[in-house]
Amino acid sequence: MRSYGATGLQTMRKLRLPAALPFVFNALKLNSTLALIGAIVAEFFGTPIVGMGFRISTEAARLDLDVVWAEILLAALTGSALFATVALLERVTTFWRPAFQPPPPSRGNAMKKIITLAICAFVLMSGTARAADKVTLQLKWSPRRNSPAITSPKRRASIKRPAST
């Protein structure tokens, strides 16, 4: 940023803070749920405040398990809502990250269909094929070396025609 003549504040705002945001949001996502768990566990041990932990411990002592499980479910839903809120905020503020970009469209199946149609059209348009001929097209696909998710045809496609009787 020095070559652009940026000041220290501009470098912080436009380069360092955006680079640090993914790490900050990961910490916020983890700590939002851990803080909730810590608050509930702290309330177990004799606080005069009537909170979720206090209520779980007193209702468990009374064997009112419906209320205990309702409080646990409420705590789980609250933690999930906090995590989802921070994750949504992260998605909105760090939209430029590759993790949030849509995946590129898959061309594997489309390429198979295009090659199959091209070979069939070539066979049907050539004068050697008759309407009564049954043509079986076999393509053998192998994964590319760089990307196993993308397949490419092997060197030759074989066309088998039944022997005419």
Per-residue pLDDT of the chain (165 residues; tens, 9 = 90+): 777 788 888 888 888 888 888 899 999 999 999 998 888 888 887 677 778 888 888 888 899 888 889 988 999 999 999 999 999 998 888 887 777 777 666 656 666 777 777 776 766 666 555 555 555 555 555 555 555 555 445 544 555 556 665
Query: Which residues form the domain of 142?
Result: 108-160
**Does 7 share its domain with 60?**
yes
Domain membership flag for residue 165: no
pTM reported for the whole predicted model: 0.55
**Does 112 share its domain with 43?**
no
Q: Following CA atoms 151, 156, 162, 164 in sequence, which dihedral angle do they give, to the nearest 10 degrees?
A: 150
In degrees, to the nearest 5, what angle opens at C-alpha 38 toward C-alphas 61 and 36? 100
**Does 92 share its domain with 119?**
no
**Does 31 share its domain with 90?**
yes
